[in-house]
Structure 1
Amino acid sequence: MIIYGVAVLAACLLAGMIVGDALGVLLGVDSNVGGVGFAMLMLIVLTDRLRRAGHFPQHSAEGVLFWSAMYIPIVVAMASTQNVVAAVGGGPVAFLAGAGATVLCWALVPAVARIGGAEAPLPPVSEEEEV
């Protein structure tokens, strides 16, 4: 059921947007702060847990895979709505915040890579499980 995968994606997107809006209110910014990022993290965690529990069949995963192919164009479209000119015109703080976050993420990649450890990959889905 491909539609179930799309439903999981939509639920994660709505939850991420709510979290991003709430974070924006907490920070005093009249904007969504990281809603799409939170949605993608929720989607990764939720689908992984559902898959490990055996509640996320291959057909549902295909619904998520379809939209994952659309992820980059969607993010580009959302980023184009941000007021970049005003942020850059406001001073170097916006640039420093972006550069600082990028450098911090690069620095944390080795630490995050060590968290999961080495596990065997998931077995391929057999034709019997697809039905």
Structure 2
Amino acid sequence: MVLYGVAALALCTLAGMLAGEALAVVLGVDTNVGGVGFAMILLILVTHQLRRRGKFPQVTEQGVLFWSALYIPIVIAMAATQNVAEAIDGGPMAILAGLGAAAAGAALVPVLARIGEPAEPLPPVDGAERQEV
């Protein structure tokens, strides 16, 4: 059953990459446009539908979670490296846009932290739980 989760992740990745390539052809560029993003959105939608229908057992979900724990950070690191290299080649406007986006994100942290109701604090960790971590 874990294999089914891995297969779902692989199929969503393949479909997302094909969608990114198709969008690149439509836009007339030589690179994949948002393929990984399409894959992740498709994976979220597919797994949500399967959960709603009761056809996504816990063991299958573990297969998706295992690979997503490895896959997503690697892809984000690769994309971040490419974005930095392109920003440096793109000149000062690309760097200013990146810095502006980072500053806006940092400024919105307190605003987003106020959303929702305050929750009760977590109970203190006892000695046995501390050893498990």
TM range (shorter): 0.5 to 0.7
From the superposition, tell whether residues 25 and 93 of structure 1 become closer, same or farther in structure 2 (CA, over 3 Å): farther
Match of 2:116?
none
Match of 1:119?
none
Alignment partners' CA distance in 2, 1:99 and 1:26: 30
Match of 1:52?
52
Match of 2:11?
11
**Larger-Rg structure:** 2
- AA of the residue aligned to 1:15: A
Aligned length, in residue pairs: 107
Alignment partners' CA distance in 2, 1:95 and 1:41: 28
**1:84 CA displacement:** 4.1
Structure 2 portions without partners, runs of 5+: 113-133
Alignment partners' CA distance in 1, 2:95 and 2:7: 36
Structure 1 portions without partners, runs of 5+: 111-131
Match of 1:113?
none
**How much identity, in percent, do the aligned residues show?**
58
From the superposition, tell whether residues 30 and 85 of structure 1 become closer, same or farther in structure 2 (CA, over 3 Å): same
**1:47 CA displacement:** 0.2
Relative to its length, the structure with more helix (as a share) is 2
- AA of the residue aligned to 1:11: L
Root-mean-square deviation (CA, aligned residues, Å) is 2.8
Runs of 4+ with deviation above 6 angstroms: 99-103
